[in-house]
Amino acid sequence: MSYQVLARKWRPRKFAELVGQEHVVRALTNALDTGRMHHAYLFTGTRGVGKTTIARIFAKSLNCERGESADPCGECAVCTAVDEGRFVDLLEIDAASNTGVDDVREVIENAQYAPSRGRFKVYLVDEVHMLSKPAFNALLKTLEEPPPHVKFLLATTDPQKLPVTVLSRCLKFNLKRLLPEQIAGQMRHILGAENIAYEDAAIEELARGADGSLRDGLSLLDQAIAYGGGSLHADDVRTMLGSVARGQVLGVLDALADGDGARLLAECAQIASYSPDFGGVLDDLAGVLHRLQLIQLIPGYRGDDESDGEALHALAARIAPEDVQLYYQIAIGGRRDLALAPDARTGFEMALLRMLAFRPGDEAAQPMAERAAPAPRPAAAPVRSVAPAAPPAPAYRAAPPVATPAPAVREPAPAAPLRDANGLPHWESLIEQAGLRGPFGVLAQNAVLRERDGNTLVLALQPAHMGMAVEPMLSQMEERISSALGERIKLRFVDIDKSAASATPAARATQARDAAQAAAEQSIADDPFVQSMKRDFGARVVPQSVKPFGS
């Protein structure tokens, strides 16, 4: 039997198996149990949160041979047919490819006929916002006067594009983005059932990389299992995702707390050696700052993850609460501005240097020469008494006003990415500017931009990742890259040559990590103290215990 990806194998088949959508499950369960069912339901939410899955379970509940119930048996011919995608009375329509009025008119005409096998004929229209205006008008007529044996289940990621007349005739359920801990919990459950070894840190990285989508998270999990050769290791997952260890983010904050610019740049260089997703590093930094502020302002706060709790509490005592707020704003602002920077690393470094340069309150007004070597400041109490004798100092040190008229405000043009010797966009910079993260980032990081053929970018891709270069991921990836380049482009993937396999961003990150590991091991081996301990006391270095600084 061919391998079945985890997202399909572990797709929920009952309402009880759904993760994170209890508010929707409760409403639908009550409607099924009491028989108070509407004729049209609209499920909205981002990708991979369960819209079509809920619709299919609802179709089973309506047509199960053992009776209408919120808990379909999952064993009868109807339930089995729905699970296998061959139930004739469940008509799934992809509105993205069937946008015309004729397609919907055919649906409307068929809706008048009684179901073939079940009690209800169920129409599942995915990405319904993609229908054309004439198609919406045709659909609206049936929604106004639906046959009693028809149920419409509409799903969309963009409900704002739906006509008000359609929205007003549907019961609307907004599905939530899943929290990282919910995604992590489901991953642990699946890995336990699949008997696959894993590190908790690896699961946490994958859960954050899923960006609220369980389906994306399971796709990343499949990729990480293949990358790790059947098991999950945190270092492998970080390399695959282009993320960094939490200790490296704490090292950045430690340097900021000391006001040590030289060490701050050293931490930046250490992070850059892993070829990370710099936007993701700023996201991680903002997340740590959020936890620092909770520790400072919420008495007795202790988070779910205590692995770095001691280090966080130490930092919370050294950085003033107002500085934490400032750093957080700079981190999220720098994340937004990365696409406008000359390259991602420069944008990342400038965000950190901005944290070093700007100081809230009176210090912002000091000349830069007077605080060239700022001393670390103790954390201040959350609430302060401020004398009203003088107006407060500006939040940031501002430049003197210039008596010239301000230029007209214009929308920023797409950032021009760096070009290589052949005039092609610099691939790693383009990945960052296009915001290719999660599954898109995995696909991009394992590819090399080989050539441009008209408006088509030809990408050489590792064969192990070719299965990901399919719709709808391909078209979404094209949209993001087109937006970054400021022109409409297409993508074509070809198998990578062995000679070019080492040139992918992922391969270079692995090489950098291996080089850093080798240098760390050599440094330990050459250390005079270690050599004397081995010589005088028979000591030995424990394998796998040596790690590069900050990892």
Q: How many C-beta atoms surround the C-beta of residue 481 within 10 A? A: 25
3-state secondary structure of 486: coil
Q: Is pLDDT at 203 greater than 80 in this prediction?
A: yes
Q: How far is CA 422 from the centre of its chain?
A: 32
pLDDT score, position 425: 86
Distance between CA atoms of 348 and 272, rounded to whole angstroms? 10
pLDDT score, position 496: 87
Distance between CA atoms of 252 and 276, rounded to whole angstroms? 15
| Structure-token pair, residue 511 | 């090489």
User: Taking residues 171-193, what's their average pLDDT?
Assistant: 92
The CATH fold of domain 180-241: Helicase, Ruva Protein; domain 3 (1.10.8)
Distance between CA atoms of 493 and 462, rounded to whole angstroms? 10
Q: Cα–Cα–Cα angle for 49, 100, 123, nearest 5°?
A: 45
pLDDT score, position 413: 41
Quote the pTM value: 0.59
Longest dimension (CA), the chain: 91
Q: Sign of the CA dihedral 500, 504, 509, 512?
A: positive
pLDDT score, position 396: 39
3-state secondary structure of 544: coil
Measured in degrees and rounded to the nearest 5, phi and psi for residue 128 equal -60, -25
Q: Is pLDDT at 382 greater than 70 in this prediction?
A: no
Which CATH number is 6-174 given? 3.40.50.300
**Which residue's entry shows tokens 């209890």?**
22
For residue range 355-370, list pLDDT tens digits in order.
999 865 544 434 333 4
pLDDT score, position 326: 93
Angle between helices 22-34 and 51-63 (to 10 degrees): 20
End-to-end Cα distance, the chain? 41
Q: How far is CA 272 from the centre of its chain?
A: 20
pLDDT score, position 421: 63
Residue 79 near residue 51, CB atoms below 8 Å: no
Q: Is pLDDT at 478 greater than 80 in this prediction?
A: yes
pLDDT score, position 255: 93
Q: Is pLDDT at 384 greater than 70 in this prediction?
A: no
pLDDT score, position 102: 64
Nearest Cα neighbor of 120 from 71, 74, 70, 78 is 78
Region label for 61, one of left (φ > 0), alpha (ψ between -120 and 50) or beta (otherwise): alpha
For residue range 34-86, list pLDDT tens digits in order.
888 899 999 998 888 888 899 889 989 999 998 888 999 989 999 999 988 88
| Domain coordinates in residue numbering, the chain | 6-174, 180-241, 246-301+310-363, 427-503
Kindly list the strands in the beta sheet with 490-495, ordered across the sheet, starting from the edge strand earlier in the chain.
Answer: 447-453, 456-461, 490-495
**For residues 305 and 266, which has the higher predicted lDDT (pLDDT)?**
266
Q: Which range scores top for mean pLDDT: 205-209, 329-333, 392-396?
A: 329-333
| Structure-token pair, residue 173 | 């359920």
Distance between CA atoms of 319 and 330, rounded to whole angstroms? 15
The CATH fold of domain 427-503: GMP Synthetase; Chain A, domain 3 (3.30.300)
Residue 44 near residue 172, CB atoms below 8 Å: yes
CATH 1.10.1740.10 fits 246-301+310-363, yes or no: no
User: Taking residues 138-156, what's their average pLDDT?
Assistant: 88
Residue 238 near residue 271, CB atoms below 8 Å: no
Q: What is the mean pLDDT of the chain?
A: 82
For residue range 306-348, list pLDDT tens digits in order.
566 788 888 998 999 999 999 999 999 999 999 899 999 999 9
Report the 3 state secondary structure along 284-329. HHHHHHHHHHHHHHCCCCCCCCCCCHHHHHHHHCCCCHHHHHHHHH
Q: Is pLDDT at 180 greater than 60 in this prediction?
A: yes
For residue range 404-430, list pLDDT tens digits in order.
444 443 333 444 576 766 678 888 889
For residue range 216-230, list pLDDT tens digits in order.
999 999 999 988 888
Region label for 254, one of left (φ > 0), alpha (ψ between -120 and 50) or beta (otherwise): alpha
User: Taking residues 529-549, what's their average pLDDT?
Assistant: 81
Identical fold for domains 180-241 and 246-301+310-363, yes or no, is no
The β-bridge partners of 40 are 152
Helix/strand number for the chain, H first, E second: 22, 8
Side chain identity at 547, as an amino acid letter?
K
Nearest Cα neighbor of 312 from 223, 247, 360 is 247
Nearest Cα neighbor of 501 from 467, 463, 527 is 463
Side chain identity at 290, as an amino acid letter?
H
pLDDT score, position 311: 84
Residue 503: pLDDT band with limits 50, 70, 90 = confident
pLDDT score, position 306: 56
pLDDT score, position 99: 58
Please give the helix or strand (H or E) that residue 126 lies within, else none.
strand 121-126
For residue range 441-467, list pLDDT tens digits in order.
888 888 999 889 888 999 998 887 887
Distance between CA atoms of 446 and 440, rounded to whole angstroms? 10
Q: Which residues of 129-164 are buried (b: 16+ CB within 10 A; e: fewer)?
A: bbbeeebbebbeebbeebeebbbbbbbbbebeebee
